[in-house]
Amino acid sequence: MPGAPPAPAISVVCPTYNSRRFVIATLESVVVQTILPCEIVVSDDGSTDGTPDLVQEFLSRYPRLPSQVIRNAHRGPGAARNEGIRRARGEWISFIDSDDVWRPNKLEMVIRAMEMHPGANMFCHNERHLRSNGPSLLLDYGARFEATVPLPRQLYYNNMFSPSAVTCRRSLLFEAGLFDETLMAFQDYELWIRMSPYTRPCFIPDVLGDYCDRSGNITSGSYRKRWRAAVRVATLHRGKVSATGYVYRVLRLTASFALQALRYRLQ
């Protein structure tokens, strides 16, 4: 009997920045996967708290799992992710942020979906949003997807992908031009939009990870910065919708961020 075909080569790319308080929990959720990746690539964004040394020591305990720890100058998460993608050796890239965690069968379920949907080049599963100031929420990304509507138009109005839930072909990332390192926020969302003309998505309905809030990472000023970045993304890609659609998107973003900032001040 011939042996089973080898599992797809998946590189896990994890950007870090001053993450020593929580990154080990993230990496622990990777090294206990029921099907291991071909490597773990940790790309550090110039941390000043010793994160790279801590990560290096942790990964040294797993010599049979290839790993890289890349030490970059501080240029933002987009630049750190890009360097991780460039150094990765796998055909597929599975992202995980340094404060999120995966369920142990995450990669196994992704590989199973690859076998069932060989034409797809991007996979996204559901997540549980663990909020710092409220009950957890189910993030059902596939519920937003309509197979009969062009993906670029859908993504312009609604982001249906989350970095720690996405596994995609490495070539697809290069074809789209990687993350925009000049954006202060929403680098992932902007890249998904750029990738969308070439993306054939598959949504996995299972909850295979936890998206975690960290206390202290939101301020009233950060809402303004994020609003500016969101409007910039909407402006960069306004050609994908009508002029009315662009105005609608900007007004909707403005109202949403104004409401979030108001709630923050009333806490």
Nearest to 94 by CA among 26, 19, 5, 150: 26
Q: Please tell me the distance from the alpha carbon of residue 226 to that of residue 229, in angstroms, as a whole number.
A: 5
pLDDT of residue 236: 96
pLDDT of residue 220: 43
- 29-87 pLDDT, tens digit each: 999 999 999 999 999 999 999 999 999 999 999 999 999 999 999 999 999 999 999 99
Q: Please tell me the distance from the alpha carbon of residue 90 to that of residue 93, in angstroms, as a whole number.
A: 7
> Strand, helix or coil at 202?
strand
Is pLDDT at 1 greater than 80 in this prediction?
A: no
> Strand, helix or coil at 140?
coil
pTM attached to this predicted model: 0.93
* Count of all residues that appear for the chain in the document: 267
Is pLDDT at 221 greater than 60 in this prediction?
A: no
Angle at which helices 220-236 and 243-266 cross, to 10°: 170
What CATH number does domain 10-212 carry, 3.90.550.10, 3.40.50.300, 3.40.50.1970, 1.20.120.420? Answer: 3.90.550.10
- 117-156 pLDDT, tens digit each: 999 999 999 999 998 777 889 999 999 899 999 999 999 9
> Strand, helix or coil at 158?
coil
Q: Alpha helices of the chain — where are they, by DSSP H? A: 23-31, 51-59, 77-87, 106-116, 151-157, 170-176, 187-195, 220-236, 243-266
CB atoms within 10 A of CB 88: 25
The pLDDT confidence band at residue 223, using thresholds 50, 70 and 90, is confident
Of residues 144 and 111, more confidently modeled? 111
pLDDT of residue 99: 93
The encoded tokens of residue 98 equal 């340094």
The one-character DSSP state at 5 is P
